[in-house]
Amino acid sequence: MKKTIESLGEFGLIDKIKEWVPRSPKMICGIGDDTAVFRASSGTYQLLTIDTIVEDIDFKLSKARPEEIGWKALGINLSDIAAMGGTPKLAVISLTLPRKTSLQFVKGFYAGAGKLAKKFNVSIVGGDLSKGAKMSASVALLGESNPRRTIFRKGAKVGDFICVTGTLGGSILGKHLSFTPRIKEGEFLARHGVSSMIDISDGFLQDLNHLVYTPGVTFMISEREIPISKAAMKLARGNRRKALNHALSDGEDFELLCTVSPKNFHKVQKNWRRRFVIPFTAIGRVVRSSEAYRSQARRLGFQHF
Amino acid sequence: MKKTIESLGEFGLIDKIKEWVPRSPKMICGIGDDTAVFRASSGTYQLLTIDTIVEDIDFKLSKARPEEIGWKALGINLSDIAAMGGTPKLAVISLTLPRKTSLQFVKGFYAGAGKLAKKFNVSIVGGDLSKGAKMSASVALLGESNPRRTIFRKGAKVGDFICVTGTLGGSILGKHLSFTPRIKEGEFLARHGVSSMIDISDGFLQDLNHLVYTPGVTFMISEREIPISKAAMKLARGNRRKALNHALSDGEDFELLCTVSPKNFHKVQKNWRRRFVIPFTAIGRVVRSSEAYRSQARRLGFQHF
């Protein structure tokens, strides 16, 4: 039987693609992080990312306004730049549309993308139109970052605090279309020297596994500290355990998940409160696998830090 | 009745999008040219472009090998960079795949894209995977160019020769999947100071209309000079008139179409012959509309130059 990509899973397939595509010597960081990172001749880093949303998979035309679809198409890319601590600059949009698409739809799409672009001083500079049976939108985004303030997925160390912005879960009730990419927060966290960072697109636990994957190292999470969103509570009809599952597993929160060294932690937390309204919550720590096993054996779990 | 994009047409829709998307002051050239062009901090120009190919529109899975689909997905973007006289650098690929796609397909796709990338020293640095009912691939490509050697669609002057690389028509017989993007040729032509340039993706006549669109200015073409491809002759079963129609109208030749001043023309032609094997053919001139009307009235057409 021929192997399908379904049997391999997304991350298995990405690993394969990494094998197939030779690593470029120009790259600081390529396939496998939130964006590609490369050194520009001016000495800064440039960040390049691409993301596609597809009708009936990432949005339903019956449930999302065209403005929301345009907002999301650009927003998911901004979120990737945010996760590097970068500043977004220029976007190009490739739109695939069925023939019968209304002009009003396209206008709304660009209004939504344009509104978000303006909010973060991004220029939409070009694109492409194709026809297709289903609507889809690919956005490529070019950004930049300070080499000393660029944060990768790799970098978490034993003892680091695991922190998250905002609240989690239930994005399907609306946030997946109307989220604010955490650009300002990402720049702040990068400036404060967090050790690793990712945006939560696949779900908190899955994305956390991308941050902490060194052999012998794992994480302990205090479930009581997880900032559960109102939407997750609503989805779970008030059942806190179910709401917690939403917060841990739901995709498309587009919050930032990062690790912070104990040395930096209090400064980050203090400055955060002065600067932002949304919460920044420490919910766990990076630990040696042996410690985690011991704790589990004692049925204590991880509760305070 | 609601206006659909079909009733407006692709170029009508692009004009609308230009109205909806504010022009960025950072841009040298944005929506409406082959790529977006902006000044990098190092003083060079950066070029950013995106293009999507969709199953059953741009290729059929029953007729194209995965390697060819990967080649084409990257190649159409390289062709856009070539049309600016630029050098391609980095690509990101967003692939939308049905669940049942074979691993072999994805491997073949990356082998094809990778082969073309290697040929032109392009690094594939990242991407994105989505699921969808139909396969599609969006590629965004970042390149650069020398500010004094960047060629736009705008720039043709009355008296300029209209020239084309390679031969035209019948790409559906195979060239649309296996074409060589004219990167080297585009760099050569930019270095030789051609006045305007575009790649032929929509069809020779349609793309020529993008080069020559100033009120009061038009072009005259010598039909006898059109370099008709063997594929166009084959499609037309040897009927030269039908083959000519293919050469004038078929899309996806991915040759370069440019205008050259009379002062530069002989040098370009002489150096071209030394450097390249594929033909470079002068097929017409940019003229004042009044001249064209006079010629048509005299039924002379345009034949020599």
A198 is in which domain, residue-wise? 151-297
Calpha distance B108→B131 (Å, rounded): 18
The last residue of one of the domains, among B148, B167, B193, is B148
- Cβ–Cβ below 8 Å for B140 and A138: yes
Shared-domain flag, residues B141 and B160: no
State the 10-residue block means of pLDDT for chain A, 305 residues long.
82 86 76 85 90 94 96 98 97 94 95 96 92 94 95 95 98 96 98 97 93 88 94 96 95 97 96 98 92 53 34
How many Cβ atoms from other residues are within 10 Å of residue B213's Cβ?
12
Shared-domain flag, residues B237 and B140: no
How far off is chain A from B127, nearest CA to CA, in Å? Answer: 6
Could you say which residues from 1 to 40 on chain A have a Cβ atom under 8 Å away from some Cβ of chain B? 2-6, 8, 10, 13-14, 16-17, 20-22, 24, 26-27, 30-31, 33, 35-36, 38, 40
The size of the A-B interface in CB pairs under 8 A is: 236
User: Which of A1, A7, A13, A21 to probe the B interface (max B CBs under 10 A)?
Assistant: A21
Q: Are B95 and A10 in contact (CB under 8 A)?
A: no
- Does residue B220 carry a pLDDT above 70? yes
- Cβ–Cβ below 8 Å for B57 and A138: no
Shared-domain flag, residues B284 and B167: yes
pLDDT, residue A297, reads: 42
How far off is chain B from A164, nearest CA to CA, in Å? Answer: 24
Could you say which residues from 141 to 160 on chain A have a Cβ atom under 8 Å away from some Cβ of chain B? 142
Shared-domain flag, residues A40 and A143: yes
The model's pTM: 0.91
Tell me the average pLDDT across B283-293: 85
Sheet with strand B280-288: strands edge to edge = B196-199, B256-260, B161-165, B280-288, B217-221
B303 falls in which pLDDT band (50, 70, 90)? very low
Q: Are B140 and A92 in contact (CB under 8 A)?
A: yes
- Nearest chain B residue to A9 by CA: give it: B99
Residue B34 lies in a domain: yes
Distances (CA, A) of B159 to A213, B196, B221, B264, B281: 65, 13, 13, 12, 16
Residue B20 lies in a domain: no
Token pair 């005299």 is found at B298
- Any A CB within 8 A of B130 CB: yes
- Nearest chain A residue to B128 by CA: give it: A51
- Does residue B63 carry a pLDDT above 90? yes
Q: Are A48 and A141 in contact (CB under 8 A)?
A: yes
Q: What is the ipTM of this complex?
A: 0.89
| Residue A278 or residue B295, greater confidence | A278
Tell me the per-residue pLDDT of B121-135, one tens digit each, with 9 for 90 and over: 999 998 889 999 999
Residue B17 lies in a domain: no
- Does residue B142 carry a pLDDT above 50? yes
Of all residues in chain B, the percent with pLDDT exceeding 70 is 95
CATH number of domain containing A79 = 3.30.1330.10
- Nearest chain A residue to B108 by CA: give it: A20
How many Cβ atoms from other residues are within 10 Å of residue A303's Cβ?
11
Shared-domain flag, residues A140 and A240: no
pLDDT, residue A295, reads: 56
Shared-domain flag, residues A166 and A278: yes
User: Which of A38, A110, A125 to probe the B interface (max B CBs under 10 A)?
Assistant: A125
Residue A25 lies in a domain: no
Query: Which of B22, B49, B134 is the closest to A134 by Cβ?
Result: B134
Shared-domain flag, residues B89 and B201: no
Residue A234 lies in a domain: yes
DSSP conformational letter for A58: T
Shared-domain flag, residues A103 and A224: no
Residue B37 lies in a domain: yes
Shared-domain flag, residues A207 and A91: no
Could you say which residues from 52 to 81 on chain A have a Cβ atom under 8 Å away from some Cβ of chain B? 52-54, 56-58
CATH number of domain containing A237 = 3.90.650.10
* Least-confidence region, from B22-26, B41-45, B138-142: B22-26
Question: Which residues from B are below 8 Å from A88, CB to CB?
Answer: none
Shared-domain flag, residues B187 and B287: yes
The last residue of one of the domains, among A148, A183, A198, is A148
- Cβ–Cβ below 8 Å for A50 and B110: no
| pLDDT, mean over chain B | 91
Helices (H), chain B: 5-8, 10-20, 66-82, 103-119, 175-178, 183-191, 204-211, 230-235, 240-249, 262-275, 289-297
Residue B2 lies in a domain: no
Shared-domain flag, residues A203 and A103: no
pLDDT, residue B194, reads: 98
Calpha distance B55→A3 (Å, rounded): 21
Domain total of chain B: 2
Question: Which H helix or E strand runs over A268?
Answer: helix A262-275
- Cβ–Cβ below 8 Å for B126 and A92: no
Residue of B266, B143, B285, B141 lying closest to B193 (CA atoms) = B266
Query: Which of A20, A44, A52 is the closest to B107 by Cβ?
Result: A20
User: Which of B27, B79, B125 to probe the A interface (max A CBs under 10 A)?
Assistant: B125
Residue B305 lies in a domain: no
B295 falls in which pLDDT band (50, 70, 90)? low
Helix (H, G, I), strand (E, B) or coil at A253: coil
Residue of A140, A177, A173 lying closest to A61 (CA atoms) = A177
Return the structure tokens found at B66.
Answer: 């995965």
Sheet with strand A161-165: strands edge to edge = A196-199, A256-260, A161-165, A280-288, A217-221
Helix (H, G, I), strand (E, B) or coil at B304: coil
Query: Which of A10, A94, A114 is the closest to B20 by Cβ?
Result: A114
pLDDT, residue B144, reads: 95
Q: Please list the residues that pair with A144 across neighbouring strands.
A: A46, A87
- Any A CB within 8 A of B185 CB: no
Three-state secondary structure readout of A228-247: ECHHHHHHCCCCHHHHHHHH
How far off is chain B from A215, nearest CA to CA, in Å? Answer: 25
What is the pairing mode between strands B123-131 and B87-97?
parallel
Shared-domain flag, residues A37 and A128: yes
pLDDT, residue A6, reads: 86
B19 falls in which pLDDT band (50, 70, 90)? confident
- Cβ–Cβ below 8 Å for B110 and A40: no
| Residue B109 or residue A40, greater confidence | B109
Question: Which H helix or E strand runs over A37?
Answer: strand A36-39
The last residue of one of the domains, among A133, A148, A163, is A148
